[in-house]
Structure 1
Amino acid sequence: MKKSLLCLFLLSTSIGVFAQDAVNYQQPPKAIADLLLAQPTPSVSIDSKAEWMLLSNRNSYPSVEELAMPEFRIAGLRINPNNFSPSRQTFINGYTLKNIKTGKTAVIAGLPAPLFAAHTLWNPSQTQISFTQTTAKGVDLYIIDIATLKAVKVNKKPLNVVLGGGITWVDDVTLLYRTATKSAAAVPVKSLMPKGPAVQLNLGKASPNPTYQDLIKTPYDEQLFEFFATSQLVQYKNGVETLIGQPAIYTAINVSPDKKYLLEKTIDKPFSYQVPYSGFPSTVKITDLAGKPIKTLAKLPSRESTPSGYDNTQNVPRSYDWRDDEAATITWALPLDSGLIKKQVPFHDAVYALSAPFSGQAKELFKTQNRYQSTTWGNATLALVREGLRSKQTIKVSRYNPEAGTIETLYELNETDKYNNPGDPVTEKNKFGLQVIQTVDHGTKLLLNNMTGSSPKGDLPFLAKFDLATKKNEIIWRSTEGTYEYVADVIDPEKLILFTRKESQKEVPNYYIKNLILRIADRKVTDFTNPYPGLEGVTKEKIAYKRADGVDLTGDLYLPKGYDKAKDGPLPTLIWAYPREFNSAADAAQIRGSKDRFTTISWASPIFWVTQGYAVLDNAEMPIVAKEGKKPNDTFVEQLQLNAEAAINKLSDLGVGDRNRMAVGGHSYGAFMTANLLAHTNLFKAGIARSGAYNRTLTPFGFQNEDRTYWDVPQLYYEMSPFSYANKIKTPLLLIHGDSDDNQGTFPINSERLFSAIKGFGGTTRFVSLPYEAHSYRGKENLLHMLWEMNSWLDQYVKKAK
């Protein structure tokens, strides 16, 4: 009895203002828990002939005890000290092969049990599939043979996947991978007596950097990084393993199209204390397949010295890669503006090439007027070059003719202009087995796939033909209204045989084979069932409304099963959002998303509360638009208020939302938005802010899409920080944060300090620190408790509000 009374006492005080220690892990209502723990449908991958389909089932959420296992947090990594792998992964726990032609499902023999698979790769002819299996003591490599339906382990030494899988099929029987060079038990031991203090020095060189987490902090961290990141490159062929080159800290290994050379990128010392491993000094070189050095292309410095500003870059070569349509040609970009985008020059970047045997002079291929981003190769007369400016949200795609050396613009648009995005080029395998641009109609047109297909009627994915001469895009197929269907793969570009994924509000997503020319009935190749029966009867509607300054907004409105507006009246409401910056009001007003998608739920979703009698407005648009020549953030708080008022007014006018019982919430930048709305308005009864950054002076060299520094606009940083107005936050605010947040800028101290400030001024707030959670939460017990916390908060301060 005493124990029961104690539990009741803890429960009753757990959501009180002065509670200190949270109760033990709690469970949300069963309807919410069932949705969270539902097994999602498998992911799907098919071969190019549409003969075999691989179905992959994902593991459910791991326990918090699994998250609590030891890990090293160094150089921007989180490392499992026992098996040379990342400590936080989502694994596949089941593989199944299905023959598409016969419809029969095959069981694969020899799979490890239990299965903790990752890094799934088909071989070039798609007769075999490789994957890694992670155990407590190491990572192994397996190959599934489709003909025999058997899986076999191939490696002799454990793999090292700390810096990524690094697994490559060279040909149908040859694999490259990286192995550990030592036993995990040989990890350097930290001396109780340090050799001296950790010292950092700067001699007058500017080094503006974002606020990264998990960086190297001590000489011992340097030892650990070198130990765990060093690996040996290995070739596997017909059962034989051959060592390639010497152990090194490899970050990339790319095989040349003709399979004669390797492009290697390795990390050099000294290791940086200011940036993660991807920004460490490095060497880019070419070797033969045995690891013999052929040419050193570049010795790249640490990225510490990158100028601030999103379109600025270091004044060094970047973007080294093989040209996919030639046997062995390396390409790279070099700034023509010393890396400073504001420098007045006719061209900001140039792209160069060097072909085997790599002894001649590099050849300039083309220049770009903006910052070069990437090239998609096709053939001797066709490649697509992408350039753009993040600061202006612009992109430009041009046709480059390698044979003639000419380049011409195909289209330019704002990257936020989803209506006019023509799509991405469909590719095919060339003679080297690499994906290059597919042309149709005798090489005159591109086949473009837009898997979103935003339109004034909502997202309607499409397939189009882009005429290279007229630069016009002709849509040849589009998802029909009332459904959401996109092209997952193009099986035959000439015959227009497609592999599509189709869903609707009531139809679970499934895969089909579609023939656009013969126009025969679509053939359904999967039969997935609804994993969320608890949402049956819930209604979803894409609502449109306008804010006071005329900007059009939308949101996804969910209403409870059986809800009758006339009988039940306005409901308590949860508005969930994430602000985005726009340079164009017209782009901000575009409709995003589709009312016809099947409702699925992740741990981060607000839709859970539709089962508890709430109206839920998810994806409520919160655009921050550039006005009158100013930057978007110059009127950030003002526009947040306009967005929120418009949403509340619309829900109230519809008669479904009770304007006196409104809550607002968000994750990350959505949490930042929530705290700002509560600091500057009285529109809501409660707020929920998860893993946010609330003091912008802690991210002084820019945040989100703001590239001005604190020293450029100190008043802006102050005014955008809800921490600056903590004394005005009187609306109940629930703060949740993972105590091991790894995201750039969202250090847990943000929530700790905001909670203390609000508490110091007598506000109503609660801070929940989730053990071992990063920026994205994973632990089952933590997630269930998080949902309980949110549900309790909403019930007390919103549903029961007067």
Structure 2
Amino acid sequence: MTETANAPLTWQRPPAPIDQILNAPASPTVAISPNNRWLLELEYTDLLPIAELAEPEIAVAGFRLNPQTNGPARPNPYRKIKLHELKTDGSPLSEAIPIDLPDNARISFLYWSPCGDRLAFTLTRNHHLEAWLLDLPTATAKQLTDSPLNGTYGTPLRWLSEDTLLCKVVDRDRGQPPVAKPVPFGPIVQENLGGKKPNRTYTKLLHNPHDEALFEYYVSSTLEIVNLDGEHHGIWPASLIDEAIPSPDGQYILLTTLHRPYSYQLPADYFPRKIQVIDRQGNLVYTVADVPLIDSLSTKFDAVRTGRRHVSWRSDRPSTLYWVEALDGGEPTQAATDRDAVFQLPAPFTAEPQEVWRCGYRFRRLLWGREDVALAWDRWYDTRQIRMWRINPSQPEQAPVLLLERSFEDNYSDPGLPLLRRGDHNWNVMYFTPDGEGIYFTGRGASPKGVYPFFDRLNWQTGETERIWQCEDPYFEGVVDLLDDHANAFITNRQSQTEPPNYWLYYDRAKPPIPLTRYPDPAPELAGISEELVQYERQDGVALSAKLYLPAGYNPETDGPLPTMFWVYPEEYKDAKLAGQITTSTNRFSRPYRTSILFLLTQGYAVLDNPSMPIIGEGDAEPNDTYVDQLISGAKAAIDYLVDRGIADRDRIGIGGHSYGAFTTVNLLAHTNFFKIGIARSGAYNRTLTPFGFQGEQRNFWEASETYIQMSPFTHVPQVKSPLLLIHGGDDSNPGTYPIQTERLYEALKGLGGIVRWVVLPLEDHSYRSQEAVAHVLWEMVNWCDTYLKPVRLES
């Protein structure tokens, strides 16, 4: 096969009915007010015109910003708001009230007021970001101030109280943007004078002094208080504000600002920062920490920086800080009895910080309930263990009570997480039962029979649970909001294989629920597809499963085997028994969107979606040391299963994947002759280019060089014989999946005579978002499958 010219190809559209499905409007996003009085429908466009991706942007310090709007680059905002009054007595929703907004509104950063009767949000205009207010009882919206907000980095507005907002505002005195010097001032020099400072791979970083100047120019903000009449006054001068978070009572502000020295190897999240508490007048009250550049963490997943981290407000108190400090130097390889400690400090922040809890694993999460009850979690990655503890914040001397310990790989024992509600100070706290002895929990409910979300009552003293409600066949349904303390009224999101997701109101658990929304099937062309959870075993006895999708009307007895595509993404495990657990539901409403492989169902293909390919390393063994062998074994088991059922034949099975799935795809093409084609999107294929870890691998290249080389499909390119379609976003910012990974793989395959096609999507990131690119990717995938996979091979 000869190489084709490199001339640009115009955007292509996929065949019917794929194109029609892509153009179907998406169902709105639903938001329920904290006081349960209002239900908002937020309309959006799932796929953006590529012209919006082409708007001006600047990439600095690991993120993108729009220099014209002083907002984030490439947002996917809401376009319209519709308002319903919500009643809990079984009455249907009120008729929708469209909110009057400017034409072509771009709505972002939505925040409910403390009482829940107002909504603050931003509107993106051509040259700035505006603060707006929606008053729900009157269904009217208005602009709050002419001062342009700064949404380039962090959150531009938050509620300070029921009648005031705290806003990050563009510095009025910043002048014109810095201009790059046409002649370099001098060389760019970086050095390391000892000390290990490994970093994973990042993109869009600072590269020179001009980038530093751009970063400071666009991120710099002043901090202002704005009331609902639009009056405003500044309380903090221009600085690199990361976040400004009011205390629950609105009397103090937790202010985080970035400062020099910056890094050319790390994004802004790792830059030095000062964490301070100021009052409403802008007076400095307390300095929590001055954090240096975070550039010396090991690649171990439980490595953390030293000093105060996870600094935030206690949600159940008016103004009490809490934070976490490492007790082991932040290094997981260092032996230690206790790894982390949690401290608290109430206003006026003049006392000594009080230790609340010590944990033997790494701190994971802490949820506040009331003075005597909080729940805390610690976790250790190497053993995959996670624990849930009850602590008494008011009496830290009391020993914490262990409520649950399990492997976080064990989905069947997952108790879920506490349901949260607005507390006395308008921050989310755990939802207690009326008797005060229980906490409401919601979870996914994975089990050997399938996935059935549940709603539980956990006794916080004993750890025992009582099942209040659980969804049943044929539905996949979960609780999204509790409407009364006794759990008689709540809202769920329900779907089934034949019913699209919609919201339902249980106003009395003894009575049938009523529908709140009636969103239609966005792709009725796929109404007849077959979805089945299939189970089989690997050669070593590990249980495996996958979702098998078959075209509408297909009958294996009369229609015979189908051309079949696998879509893969492996996962690492420490326990072989847990690797085979069922974690997907057959009761979901399966419709493809964006670049989903399920669109191939409309073209006569079968799809085996996400066949489990566990990479297991029990005990001291590392999963990736036998990655290739386990990958092959999992793929062979799936193929044998489908062939034995008569659904697929061995001559017409292809494989594809995105990101780590693309990496997997090329590995299987290199190490087996199982698959007749491959589709690899936005992958990384040479692990020497990600030398300080990738995916679940914590070791660096020099600690596990054989593993890195053996796992890199680039090393085994001569063994790739099947036609391979390579697709990559031209502006991929995902760590590790630089576009050069695909470019070099293509050059290698071309140089060795392989059948390969390389598609670069201009302006697209790791995931593809434009109408034009998504349609073109689907056209490429269908065309590749139709050319190399669908044709029946005749006997010679």
* TM-score between both structures, scaled by the size of structure 1: 0.96
Aligned: 1:427 with 2:446: no
d(CA) in 2 for partners of 1:574, 1:548:
22
Structure 2 counterpart of 1:459, one-letter code: V
d(CA) in 1 for partners of 2:421, 2:770:
41
For residue 436 of structure 1, the aligned residue among 406, 429, 440 is: 429
Conserved in 1, the CA contact under 8 Å of 2:157 and 2:168?
Answer: yes
The 1:556–1:19 alpha-carbon spacing in structure 2 relative to 1, beyond 3 Å, is: farther
Which residue number corresponds to residue 482 of structure 2? 490
Conserved in 2, the CA contact under 8 Å of 1:692 and 1:750?
Answer: yes
d(CA) in 1 for partners of 2:217, 2:12:
41
User: Where do residues 549-560 of structure 1 align in structure 2 (5 Å cutoff)?
Assistant: 549-560=540-551
Which residue number corresponds to residue 568 of structure 2? 577
Aligned: 1:81 with 2:67: yes
Structure 2 counterpart of 1:480, one-letter code: E
Provide the secondary structure at the position in 2 that maps to 1:105: coil
Provide the secondary structure at the position in 1 that maps to 2:447: coil
User: Where do residues 283-322 of structure 1 align in structure 2 (5 Å cutoff)?
Assistant: 283-322=274-313
User: Where do residues 358-757 of structure 1 align in structure 2 (5 Å cutoff)?
Assistant: 358-405=349-396, 406=398, 407-440=400-433, 442-450=435-443, 452-515=444-507, 517=509, 519-627=510-618, 629-757=620-748
Conserved in 1, the CA contact under 8 Å of 2:244 and 2:255?
Answer: yes
The 1:17–1:645 alpha-carbon spacing in structure 2 relative to 1, beyond 3 Å, is: farther
The 1:19–1:657 alpha-carbon spacing in structure 2 relative to 1, beyond 3 Å, is: farther
d(CA) in 1 for partners of 2:640, 2:312:
52
User: Where do residues 164-203 of structure 1 align in structure 2 (5 Å cutoff)?
Assistant: 164-182=154-172, 186-203=176-193
Q: CA deviation at 1:516?
A: 5.3
d(CA) in 2 for partners of 1:155, 1:599:
44
For residue 162 of structure 1, the aligned residue among 152, 163, 167 is: 152
Conserved in 2, the CA contact under 8 Å of 1:581 and 1:625?
Answer: yes
Conserved in 2, the CA contact under 8 Å of 1:483 and 1:597?
Answer: yes
d(CA) in 2 for partners of 1:757, 1:495:
61
d(CA) in 2 for partners of 1:336, 1:127:
44
Q: CA deviation at 1:659?
A: 2.0
d(CA) in 2 for partners of 1:391, 1:290:
47
The 1:481–1:269 alpha-carbon spacing in structure 2 relative to 1, beyond 3 Å, is: same
Provide the secondary structure at the position in 2 that maps to 1:544: strand
Q: CA deviation at 1:493?
A: 3.0
Provide the secondary structure at the position in 2 that maps to 1:97: strand
d(CA) in 2 for partners of 1:408, 1:55:
42
State percent identity of aligned pairs.
Answer: 38
d(CA) in 2 for partners of 1:569, 1:357:
76
Which residue number corresponds to residue 5 of structure 1? none
Structure 1 counterpart of 2:49, one-letter code: S
Q: CA deviation at 1:281?
A: 0.3
d(CA) in 2 for partners of 1:16, 1:478:
59
- How many residue pairs are counted as aligned between the two chains? 786
Provide the secondary structure at the position in 2 that maps to 1:160: coil
For residue 22 of structure 2, the aligned residue among 11, 14, 36 is: 36
The 1:433–1:747 alpha-carbon spacing in structure 2 relative to 1, beyond 3 Å, is: same
d(CA) in 1 for partners of 2:403, 2:14:
53
Structure 2 counterpart of 1:426, one-letter code: L
Conserved in 2, the CA contact under 8 Å of 1:106 and 1:149?
Answer: no
Which residue number corresponds to residue 12 of structure 1? none
Conserved in 2, the CA contact under 8 Å of 1:512 and 1:524?
Answer: yes
d(CA) in 2 for partners of 1:282, 1:698:
30
Does 365-374 or 179-188 show the bigger shift? 179-188
Does 688-697 or 415-424 show the bigger shift? 415-424
d(CA) in 1 for partners of 2:466, 2:272:
47
d(CA) in 1 for partners of 2:614, 2:578:
10
Q: CA deviation at 1:27?
A: 1.4
Q: CA deviation at 1:231?
A: 0.7
Conserved in 2, the CA contact under 8 Å of 1:108 and 1:151?
Answer: no
Q: CA deviation at 1:228?
A: 0.6
For structure 2, the 5+ residue unaligned runs are none
d(CA) in 1 for partners of 2:20, 2:219:
40
Tell me the alpha carbon deviations over residues 516-541 of structure 1, each in whole angstroms, 9 at most, x when there is no partner: 54x12212111111111111111111
Conserved in 2, the CA contact under 8 Å of 1:307 and 1:314?
Answer: no
Conserved in 2, the CA contact under 8 Å of 1:117 and 1:134?
Answer: yes
Structure 2 counterpart of 1:160, one-letter code: N
Q: CA deviation at 1:18?
A: 4.1
The 1:773–1:484 alpha-carbon spacing in structure 2 relative to 1, beyond 3 Å, is: same
Structure 2 counterpart of 1:232, one-letter code: T
> What is the alpha-carbon root mean square deviation over aligned residues?
1.6
Aligned: 1:95 with 2:81: yes
Structure 1 counterpart of 2:326, one-letter code: P
d(CA) in 2 for partners of 1:227, 1:330:
31
d(CA) in 2 for partners of 1:19, 1:545:
45
Conserved in 2, the CA contact under 8 Å of 1:438 and 1:447?
Answer: yes
Provide the secondary structure at the position in 2 that maps to 1:783: helix
Tell me the alpha carbon deviations over residues 52-107 of structure 1, each in whole angstroms, 9 at most, x when there is no partner: 21001112422223222221111011111211111111111111011233533243
Q: CA deviation at 1:349?
A: 0.9
d(CA) in 2 for partners of 1:183, 1:697:
47
The 1:750–1:474 alpha-carbon spacing in structure 2 relative to 1, beyond 3 Å, is: same
Conserved in 1, the CA contact under 8 Å of 2:26 and 2:45?
Answer: no
The 1:122–1:706 alpha-carbon spacing in structure 2 relative to 1, beyond 3 Å, is: same
d(CA) in 1 for partners of 2:261, 2:176:
23
Structure 1 counterpart of 2:219, one-letter code: A
Q: CA deviation at 1:238?
A: 3.3
Which residue number corresponds to residue 61 of structure 1? 47
Q: CA deviation at 1:16?
A: 6.4
Provide the secondary structure at the position in 2 that maps to 1:305: coil
User: Where do residues 109-148 of structure 1 align in structure 2 (5 Å cutoff)?
Assistant: 109-148=99-138
Provide the secondary structure at the position in 2 that maps to 1:620: coil
Provide the secondary structure at the position in 2 that maps to 1:715: helix
Provide the secondary structure at the position in 2 that maps to 1:179: strand
Does 736-745 or 494-503 show the bigger shift? 494-503
Tell me the alpha carbon deviations over residues 266-299 of structure 1, each in whole angstroms, 9 at most, x when there is no partner: 1011111111001100001111012110111111
Conserved in 2, the CA contact under 8 Å of 1:37 and 1:60?
Answer: no
Provide the secondary structure at the position in 2 that maps to 1:30: coil
Structure 2 counterpart of 1:434, one-letter code: W
Provide the secondary structure at the position in 2 that maps to 1:386: strand
Aligned: 1:282 with 2:273: yes
Which residue number corresponds to residue 11 of structure 1? none
d(CA) in 2 for partners of 1:352, 1:310:
23
Q: CA deviation at 1:379?
A: 0.9
d(CA) in 1 for partners of 2:386, 2:274:
30
Q: CA deviation at 1:19?
A: 4.7
d(CA) in 1 for partners of 2:517, 2:634:
41
d(CA) in 2 for partners of 1:258, 1:126:
16
Which residue number corresponds to residue 243 of structure 1? 234
For structure 1, the 5+ residue unaligned runs are 1-14
Provide the secondary structure at the position in 2 that maps to 1:419: helix
Conserved in 2, the CA contact under 8 Å of 1:543 and 1:554?
Answer: yes
Which residue number corresponds to residue 7 of structure 1? none
Q: CA deviation at 1:328?
A: 1.8
Conserved in 1, the CA contact under 8 Å of 2:80 and 2:99?
Answer: no
d(CA) in 1 for partners of 2:619, 2:232:
64
d(CA) in 1 for partners of 2:590, 2:113:
35
d(CA) in 2 for partners of 1:60, 1:553:
33
Structure 2 counterpart of 1:162, one-letter code: T
* TM-score between both structures, scaled by the size of structure 2: 0.96
